[in-house]
Chains A and B, each alone.
Chain A
């Protein structure tokens, strides 16, 4: 029975996404359209180099959904209402991490399917895919943290949407599907998405074996960044975000 509260919240969050047309649009259509547009615009050889970055971008994009969803619930008095029940903040935050990570995996799957249709043929075997899956989960958790930070700072759902781009845009420009030069790479070193994209590129484009140290360094740095950002998000949200 220990997971009861977390599972009930996860179920509710998933229903929110499925039943709210605005969320559903953002979730399914947006990554699909984005991938197809890039695919058609750049064509086969060039698009291939962008595909792993698009996977990472799908994970970053949930920052906006997380921020919006928290602010919405807050505006409706629902966070207060949950706060009065014996639900702990661990159970509450855990449910958001689980539901949004599921959402993110789903979005990446959409991007992946669209990429395959366009002609993307990834290298890397089953173990490579498994590692890619782990990278995507860690980056998604990191995005939940950014979403929480956004929701803590923003005082309404509208502002939350706008503010979330502070975290989305830099990560998109300097750490996903856009090629980097020496200057932009300096910025990218500070962004979680860079490490995810770098590792995904190595796995899918170069098909490096899993003995390649760089992948594990990427995963390590990404994990540390994610933990710090999620903890910071939870802390800020507990202090400023609830009321």
Chain B
């Protein structure tokens, strides 16, 4: 039956989440959530928050309880993420709990589950993702990193690129090439690598915003025990695809978009507009806010529809791609509205006003000129350009949709 409002159980769950957030978010952790300059939170604060969530059993919303997850339904996950953003809590790093965890849960050995999952939850292991290579971006299956069989070990050599937080990660999940077959997808192996192994070198990549978050990883004859293979050798693509599907399930963009647009409107009430009132009252700006609101609410209902289809066990089909495309486009749109609110103060480079997701490498001052939101707005604008590039670029998502339409 179609029903827009939350039911009583869902409302009770929402109140429980609210009370928890209220009781446990410190000002420092909240600042790390509210003053993010990209989708990446300040490492230390985000880990601190993960530990608090872990103590409550909520660090992994989508994992089954037997592995230490919250075991929540898709709806509960949605409610939690909405309340989390509204309360200003930072996200937990996705590479471990959201990405590698499900791969191990779905395809790992009992030993791998017993060793890695608890350490992932506690934050003792901090993960990075080693998929992309200089020659294998959108065409991921063409990856070349060599992994040669040496009895109990695989010996890995080659280069990965764009690896988020590889500089602070102690573990990485990699796709490596163990064999050459007729199809490029075959011969790929999903491998867990201890980043402290001899032969692993990590070099920084600096973003246009001056932040060091991405890296290159070079492997030079790195010996990795075969017990770190997830799934079977040469069949890592299956694991990677499983991970991807899992990752996409229960993802929702609308909750965060709503909260961000609220913040933009609030900021627009604080600055003068081009007319006589505040910027929020300007005709042109009001129209932009209204358009964004409409776009977000239609996405929200779309996400509810996808959620309820998923709850009935239907495979996501087109919805994952549609949500990725529209969600990231709207994230970018909101950063554009943010720039409008910032006005001329949005030209200033003042990362010191925010809580960037990694060390800032360009020269900058200590004090902040103009309002804080204006200082953060251009960094968000620049960094958010990545949203339509990673996790399957929006062009690739459109190619997927075109195929689904039979084109």
Indicate, yes or no, whether A interacts with B. Answer: no
Residues of chain A having any CB pair with chain B under 8 Å: none
Residues of chain B having any CB pair with chain A under 8 Å: none
